[in-house]
Copies of this chain bind each other. A is one copy, B any other.
C-alpha cells in the first residue's frame, strides 16, 4: 500500500468515526425530544410550535455560516433532523383539550382516514366508536351520549350517509365530515341536523405518519362556540387550520383534484397507447422528468374506484374537464399550424400570470428534484 493509499484509508476511517458519532448524537436528540413531548402532554401544550421552530432554524443558519457551511443546505439538514423527531411522536400520546375527553363516532371508521383519526383520537384519550357499512343496526346505541360524529365515507355516499345518521343525533352532538367536496355536503348536514355543524377537509392522505404540520380546511356550518374544542384539539395534534368559504374551496378542488388526476390519467393512458414503458422512460430521464414520471406513476398504484369517484364526483367538475378539452384544442392549433410565435406569446402571458410564484416554484421544485436525485438517482 502506497503512502497516498494509506492516507486515503485513514481519512475514510475518520469519516466513518464522524458518522458514528453523529448517529449517536441523533439517538440522544430523539430521546431528549421524547422527554420534551411527554412534558408537553402532561401540561396540555401543543407539540408543534411554528415560531420556536423558525427561531431554531435562524440560529442554526447563523452557526453554520460561522463554520463556513452552506447555510441553505444547513437549514435543509436541520429540518430533516427535526422531521425525525416529529416521526417519533406517532407512537406517542397527544395532549387533550381543556374541554377534556370526548366521545367521538367515526362513520366509515374502517377506511384509511377513519382509522388514522381513530388512532390519534384514541391515543389522546377520547372514547372512539366506529360505525361502518354493516353496523347500522347498532346506530342508536353508537350515537348515545355522543359529542361528535365525523362522516368519512366515499364521496358518492356522503350525502345519503348524512341523511341516514341525522335522525339519531341529539341537539348537542357536533356533525362533521371529511369529504373533499364542501358546498353540497354542508347543505346536507345543516338540513339533516339542527345542532352544531362543521365541514372539514383534511388536506393529506391516510398514509402520513402523523398529522403534525398537515393542513385542515374548515367551513363553518352552525354553532361555532360548540365545536371550538374540536379546532383546539386539531391544533394540539399539530394541524394547521384554514377557514374557507365552501364555494371557493370547491372551485379550487375541481382544479386540484379533478384536473390533476385527469391529466395524470391522460399521460399514463397515452404512454400505454404508444407502448412507452415507464421503466425505459425512467432510464432516459433527467432528474426533472424522473420527478414528473413518479408523480404520474404513483396514481396507478392506487385504487381505480377512488380515482373514478374523485373525477366523476359531480356535474361542475365534469364540466370543468370538458372545458379543459376545449382549451387543449386552442393550444394544439398552435402546434398544428407550427405557430412558434403564437406559442411564445401564450407562454409569456402565462409567465406574467404566474408572476413571482414561478420563481418560488423553480426554487421549491429544484429542491425536491435534488432530494429525489440524492436518494434514488
Contact = CB atoms under 8 A, between A and B. Distances in A.
B274 A255 contact: yes
A77 B80 contact: yes
Interface in A23-60: 23-30, 32-33, 35-36, 39-40, 42-43, 56, 59-60
A27 B67 contact: yes
A139 interface: no
A364 interface: yes
A28 to B, nearest CB: 6
Contacts of A257: 289
Interface stretch (A97-105, A140-148, A157-165, A355-363): A355-363
Given A286-B205, A376-B364, A344 B304 contact: yes
Interface string A288-321: 1111111111111110110110011000001001
What number of copies of this chain does the assembly contain?
Answer: 2
A357 B278 contact: yes
Interface residues of A, number: 159
A300 B350 contact: yes
Nearest to A8: B39
A354 to B, nearest CB: 4
Contacts of A372: 364, 367-368, 371
A259 interface: yes
Q: Tell me if A's interface is mostly helix, strand, loop or mixed.
A: helix
Interface in A325-377: 325, 327-329, 331-332, 335-336, 338, 340, 343-344, 346-351, 353-354, 357-362, 364-377
A86 to B, nearest CB: 9
A328 B252 contact: no
A60 B15 CA distance: 12
A26 B68 CA distance: 11
Nearest to A347: B304
A332 B327 contact: no
Given A354-B300, A362-B298, A372-B364, A68 B27 contact: yes
Which A-B residue pairs are the 4 nearest by beta carbons? A297-B361, A301-B358, A304-B347, A294-B365
15 contacts: A8-B36, A8-B39, A23-B60, A30-B69, A75-B375, A213-B377, A266-B331, A268-B350, A278-B354, A294-B360, A294-B361, A298-B366, A301-B362, A307-B347, A318-B336
